[in-house]
Chain A
Amino acid sequence: MTCKELRLTRALIIFALAITLFSLFSCPPVAAQENPYFVTYDHNLEEPGNLEVEYFSTFGTQRAGNDFHAFWMEFEYGVNAWWTTEVYLDGQSTFHDSTIFTGVKWENRFRPLKHEHFINPVIYVEFEHKSDGDKTLKEGEGHDVEEDFLAPNSELRKGINNEVELKLILSSNFKGWNFSQNTLAAKNLTNEPWEFGYALAASRPLALKASATRCRFCRQNFIVGAEMYGGLGDRYSFGLKDTSHYLAAVGGWNLPNGWTLRLSPGFGLNDNGHKFLLRWGVSREISGFDQMIRRMFGGKS
């Protein structure tokens, strides 16, 4: 890594930390009610004016190579009741190799329908600027397989990709359950074909009624479920051939003080995928971020 790159990476990390600390200490938290998914999206958007700061990790095993720990931070902001925007910062450590910053993503989710329906669509648009070293496995896409991660970080970080990713999110809440299905189409903006992927998930709180007393360990604070995701090939070879697929149990704990903890052990369903992925995450929902921005620009709070 050159001095200039090191300075830029450091500046980004300091910037992210500054936003996080400023938000955490200047805005009050609100109780979150988050689904425990790591890959799949449901139709619930961020509440308007709220900021959710999230940190996630993925530990993955690697056959014929070094295991890795990939991590990312998300800053999710509810612009409107129908629009949520999000910025990601990604990185990874490969054991016995190095730690590298792997890219940034900017994601937007739009809810096109005014009312709640049995199936609720959300349109997802994302721009990614990432290196080949990205190991977050935030989605299954195209012909991505375990072997892609075998090269050392010094090689992987040289391949830079600008990618647009579109998703159709379909989600339904029924008798306390949430069922979500995402269909993904991604296009590397260099001369690469469209790639496809999918994600399916279901989850349910352990209790549907809220307790009459405030509590951390009440059953309604715990949400459990499962998700499955993988690639569907590309424009020229659509299908399941040479694709990887994963199945994961997911669990979330929504604390009354605004924190949410998530855990998800996952397993590769075929030889193309990593055998084992362990994901964990922590997030905090912060209310009144819009008012904080307003005050910064001299407006009344």
Chain B
Amino acid sequence: MKPSSVRFFLGAVGLTVLAAAANTCSNTYGAGSAEAQWFRSDVYAELAKVPEKDRNRVNPLENDPQGVAAGQILFQDHCSECHGDDAKGARKGPSLRASEVQRATPGTLFWVLTNGVVRRKMPSWSKLPEPQRWQLVRYLKSLGTN
């Protein structure tokens, strides 16, 4: 191991930390802040961009008696970190109890889960198998706007 290795390593870590710092400073929004309004309109606007064909897809697990319970566990494992434990929104993600989300069709929510909103830091969840994404949709639709 030569000193140049250490320099390279420290440089790489330094760049990574800088990127992380820039990342956190550039796009975090506290609930109720001035940015939150922009956050709200901009993110929910994505729901309107879903193609017609996908919007009309029917949830194949609509009548699955375990769909909501399974979806709740998936939500806690993968979504609550950004959207809050109660899905009312948190620093990184908007409320999923908002009327825009609750009015959206199951197909619309499935499409957003699958594709993410990559430019707005919502990752694609295509790594979850399709049935699990539909279970998540069941849970989201069960929340209501309370």
Contacts and interface: CB of A to CB of B under 8 A. Distances in A.
Contacts of B21: 293-294, 297
Interchain residue pairs A-B with the least CB separation, the first 6: A31-B77, A212-B66, A212-B69, A106-B12, A208-B129, A210-B70
A77 interface: yes
B92 interface: yes
A87 B12 contact: yes
- Tell me whether chain B's interface is mostly helix, strand or loop, or mixed: helix
B5 A129 contact: yes
A47 B135 contact: no
A116 B121 contact: no
B24 A47 contact: no
A238 B27 CA distance: 46
B70 A45 contact: no
A96 interface: no
A188 interface: no
Interface residues of B, number: 52
Contacts of B12: 87, 104, 106, 127
A44 interface: yes
A45 B78 contact: no
A230 interface: no
B70 A209 contact: yes
Given A114-B118, A116-B115, A81 B123 contact: yes
A101 B1 CA distance: 7
B16 interface: yes
A209 B116 contact: no
B70 A212 contact: yes
A205 B92 CA distance: 29
28 contacts: A4-B3, A8-B5, A12-B1, A12-B6, A31-B77, A33-B128, A49-B24, A77-B16, A77-B20, A79-B19, A81-B117, A81-B118, A81-B119, A106-B8, A114-B118, A116-B114, A116-B115, A116-B124, A127-B8, A208-B129, A210-B73, A210-B131, A210-B135, A213-B73, A214-B73, A290-B24, A294-B25, A294-B28
B23 A290 contact: yes
Contacts of B28: 294
A243 interface: no
B126 A173 contact: yes
Contacts of A208: 129-132
A105 to B, nearest CB: 9
A160 B2 contact: yes
Interface string A38-57: 00001011011100000000
A48 B123 contact: yes
B17 interface: yes
A3 to B, nearest CB: 12
Given A5-B2, A129-B5, A208-B131, A81 B121 contact: yes
Interface in B53-84: 61, 66, 69-71, 73-74, 77-78, 81
A290 B20 contact: yes
A4 B8 CA distance: 17
B124 A81 contact: yes
B41 interface: no
Contacts of A11: 6
A33 B127 contact: yes
